[in-house]
Homo-oligomer: A and B are copies of this chain.
Amino acid sequence: MATKENIEEGLELTLKFDENGLIPVIAQDAKTGEVLMAAYMNRAALDATIQTGCATYFSRSRQKLWKKGEESGHFQKVEQILVDCDQDCVILKVTVDAGQCHVGYQSCFYRALKAGSDKELENIAEKVFDPKKIYKT
């Protein structure tokens, strides 16, 4: 079994998947540093990502592997895979084209909490495509 020191200081990938076999994954634009989305991978999704170089996640709602872009065409080319200290989170540094979020924005994080409020959001980005033209459903 991996020790705390091995996990934190070692150079062997010993990812900690949760009780559902999943690990949270952050996709970050390799060029701009913008965080594009957060999703989950199981072991098979990670293997597919490593083997193909194309970000593949596990869809919790559909309970199946989901190659990002398989419907929209907005694939994520994986440049680097980072792990955190306790190996329970992954960052994918990705090269992408325009429009990574299915709502129509470049990033899924297109809203921020308004200053001084604990419940009101404001848009901080503009849509870069019309999702109705891309997605059939």
Contacts and interface: CB of A to CB of B under 8 A. Distances in A.
Interface string A81-112: 11111100101000000000111010011111
Nearest to A24: B24
Contacts of A10: 121
Contacts of A13: 113, 118-121
Given A26-B35, A85-B101, A109-B83, A121 B91 contact: no
Interface of A: 8-13, 24, 26, 28, 32-35, 37-38, 47, 50, 80-86, 89, 91, 101-103, 105, 108-113, 118-124
20 contacts: A9-B103, A11-B120, A11-B121, A13-B113, A13-B118, A13-B119, A24-B38, A26-B35, A33-B33, A33-B34, A35-B91, A50-B118, A80-B113, A82-B111, A82-B112, A82-B113, A82-B124, A85-B101, A85-B103, A91-B109
